[in-house]
């Protein structure tokens, strides 16, 4: 008996793929399996909704079906789960016009206008949203963008029960957001894409790994793992993505451009030296790091803010002290995909101390937690390391609204992190797209990051005091204790100052305004003036009545 996964619950990559496998059906069969008929006269509206909920989000009980075999309604109304939200991929019933999970309109214009498209109205019913101020702006920095339409050819050949979250529309929505914001193509330099060579790939991956990926070119459809697909164009898309990242890194190191944004897919940070996994074929950030070193960089910093730990990047550079890897990710004690990235994982051999993991213990982590971790862990260590270039594995699945991440980082939060990293390595900064599966969230977040790369000041955060959550604070303290053995920037005085600031901040936030004390009003017992207590009355209240 197949169970339809509940799309209102955020799923990580592993559970998402497991839900697809459990159905054991292709897209048409899955939709057909959700068909049902309800009597117009015998079942009321609320009962219909309840039945629909059970069929779409719950289990189908075959025993109930047998009991109803002798029931013949006079008329039937057929409802199907027929459309999937373009923004978050949630299945919705035919009669609805807005997504149940994210409220995006069924015919949203997000692929044409990105995050600037109206969320609740049909495309074409509103004027084209444009950032007029941005259209008149000239970038104060030489910012390059790497992109190629052929990366859109990498797509799941046959849909399972739901559209795959790592889909071509991710790039379309981001590019539409760049265009509507006036940042692309006029505000940036477009770097032409090229296919990476096998020699360059094998500086990061094994020969066997490269051969396995290339072999998919002759197959219409294939799967490396239950959630990592390929079609006949996937190897080409992966070569283009890696080539874009390598060329952008070289251009930044040589001074041709100041910084860059690699708008690429398939993503890469889960791909290990010999393993394809987690939607990732080749490790783009690692290839960019190797290209940077070939262009003259002696030390490379990789900061990974994707909500999932970059197990591939850590594994590839685990023994290499010339590459410092810092990852901020949801971990939950190893229960969140891919399970690696605990604070005590610090690298090994010559690379011990050059892997820094900031593992969030729960969902709901937001801007303040990330910024505090940047201020007290990431930046002090990064500046002590003094890299020649900084590469960001920029997954936007920690963004608010992402169906897999479950965190609360806003576009302003990503912009602030970008601004902080631009103070490292002389501003030589390469942002490489990784995950992110809510189209509106990734379009807004990527655009906010690109604005900072182009020289705009980031939007200020709502909470000026930047008080982290208790879970975020505990994580920063844990990492501080582990990494202070390797980095003198995390010295005891700085640690005590941070702890004092946090405690004072929370004490200040917890204070409540004191109620104004009013003098106690005591009713004057006038009758005392008539008897023996008149002297007491005179002493307490005076002679006036």
Residues designated catalytic: 270
Q: What pLDDT is attached to residue 33? A: 35
Q: What pLDDT is attached to residue 502? A: 63
Q: What pLDDT is attached to residue 74? A: 41
The residues facing 357 across adjacent strands are 327
Q: Could you read off the pLDDT of 208-238 as tens digits, one per residue?
A: 999 999 999 999 999 999 999 999 999 999 9
The residues facing 93 across adjacent strands are 81
Q: Cα–Cα distance between 288 and 249 in angstroms, integer?
A: 6
Enter the pTM of the model.
0.77
Q: What is the mean pLDDT of residues 318-339?
A: 98
- Give the CATH class of 137-457+465-490: alpha beta
Tokens of 106: 């069924």
Are 317 and 311 contacting, i.e. CB atoms less than 8 angstroms apart? no
Q: Can you spell out the DSSP letters for 313-381?
A: HHHHTTT-TTEEEEEEEE-GGGTSTT----TT----GGGTT-EEEEEESSS--BHHHHHHHIIIIIHHH
Neighbouring C-beta atoms of residue 80, cutoff 10 Å: 16
Q: Across the chain, which distance is largest between two alpha carbons, in Å?
A: 114
Q: Which of 120, 95, 97 is nearest to 110 (CA)?
A: 120
Residue 506's pLDDT band (cuts 50, 70, 90):
low
Domain residue spans in the chain? 13-116, 137-457+465-490
Q: Which of 121, 261, 269 is nearest to 177 (CA)?
A: 261
Q: What pLDDT is attached to residue 108? A: 85
Residue 525's pLDDT band (cuts 50, 70, 90):
low
Q: What pLDDT is attached to residue 397? A: 97
Q: Could you read off the pLDDT of 98-153 as tens digits, one per residue?
A: 888 888 888 888 888 888 787 767 766 444 445 444 444 445 679 999 999 999 99
Rg of the chain, C-alpha, whole Å: 29
Query: Which residue reads 């070569």 in tokens?
Result: 239
Q: Cα–Cα distance between 267 and 162 in angstroms, integer?
A: 20
H helix runs in 6-147, sequence order? 13-23, 27-33, 45-57, 62-67, 110-113, 132-135
Query: Which residue reads 């920063």 in tokens?
Result: 476
Q: What pLDDT is attached to residue 534? A: 65
Residue 45's pLDDT band (cuts 50, 70, 90):
very low
What percent of the chain shows pLDDT beyond 70? 71
Residue 411's pLDDT band (cuts 50, 70, 90):
very high
Task: Please give the residue that has the higher pLDDT: either 86 or 174.
Answer: 174
Are 429 and 421 contacting, i.e. CB atoms less than 8 angstroms apart? yes
């Amino acid at each position: 008996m197949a169970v339809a996964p509940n799309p209102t619950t955020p799923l990580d990559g592993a559970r998402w793929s497991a839900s697809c496998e459990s159905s054991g059906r292709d897209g048409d069969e899955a939709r057909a399996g959700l068909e049902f008929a309800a009597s117009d006269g015998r079942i009321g509206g609320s009962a219909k909704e309840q039945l629909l909920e059970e069929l779409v989000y719950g289990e189908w009980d075959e025993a109930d079906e047998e009991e109803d075999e002798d029931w013949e309604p006079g008329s039937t109304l057929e409802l199907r789960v027929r459309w999937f939200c373009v923004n978050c991929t949630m299945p919705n019933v035919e009669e609805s016009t807005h997504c149940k999970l994210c409220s995006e309109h069924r015919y949203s214009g997000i692929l044409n206008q990105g995050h600037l498209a109206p969320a609740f109205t049909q495309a074409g019913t509103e004027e084209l949203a444009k950032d007029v101020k941005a259209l008149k702006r000239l970038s104060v920095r030489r910012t390059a963008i790497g992109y190629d339409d052929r990366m859109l050819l990498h797509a799941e050949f046959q849909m399972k029960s739901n559209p795959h979250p790592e889909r071509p529309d991710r790039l379309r929505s981001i590019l539409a957001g760049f265009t509507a914001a006036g940042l692309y193509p006029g505000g940036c330099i477009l770097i032409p894409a090229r296919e990476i060579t096998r020699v360059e790939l094998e500086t990061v991956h094994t020969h066997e790994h490269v051969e396995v990926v290339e072999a998919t070119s002759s197959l219409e459809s294939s799967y490396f793992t239950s959630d990592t697909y390929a079609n006949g164009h996937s190897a080409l898309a992966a070569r283009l993505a890696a080539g874009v990242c390598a060329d952008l890194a070289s251009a930044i190191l040589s001074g041709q451009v100041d910084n860059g944004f690699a708008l690429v897919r398939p993503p890469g940070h889960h791909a290990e030296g010999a393993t394809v996994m987690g939607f990732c074929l080749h490790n783009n950030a690692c290839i960019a790091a190797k290209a940077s070193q070939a262009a003259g960089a002696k030390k490379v910093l990789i900061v990974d803010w994707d909500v999932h730990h970059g197990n591939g990047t850590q594994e590839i550079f685990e023994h290499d002290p010339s590459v410092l890897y810092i990852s901020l990710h949801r971990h939950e004690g190893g229960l969140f995909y891919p399970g690696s990235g605990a604070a005590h994982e610090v690298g090994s051999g010559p690379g011990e101390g050059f892997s820094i993991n900031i593992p969030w213990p729960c969902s709901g982590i937001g801007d303040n937690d990330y910024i505090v971790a940047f201020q007290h862990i990431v930046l002090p260590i990064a500046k002590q390391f003094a890299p020649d270039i900084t590469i960001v594995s920029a997954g936007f699945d920690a963004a608010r609204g992402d169906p897999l991440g479950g965190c609360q980082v806003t576009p302003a939060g990503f912009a602030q992190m970008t601004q902080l990293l631009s103070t490292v390595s002389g501003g030589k900064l390469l942002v490489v797209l990784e995950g992110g599966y809510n189209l509106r969230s990734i379009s807004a977040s990527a655009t906010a990051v690109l604005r900072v790369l182009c020289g705009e000041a980031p939007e200020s955060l709502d909470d000026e005091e930047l008080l982290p959550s208790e879970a975020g604070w505990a994580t920063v303290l844990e990492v501080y204790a582990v990494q202070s053995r390797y980095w003198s920037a995390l010295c005891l005085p700085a640690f005590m100052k941070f702890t004092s600031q946090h405690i004072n901040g929370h004490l200040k936030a917890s204070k409540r305004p004191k109620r104004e004390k009013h003098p106690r009003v005591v009713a004057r017992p006038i009758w005392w003036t008539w008897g023996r207590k008149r002297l007491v009355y005179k002493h307490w209240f005076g002679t006036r009545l």
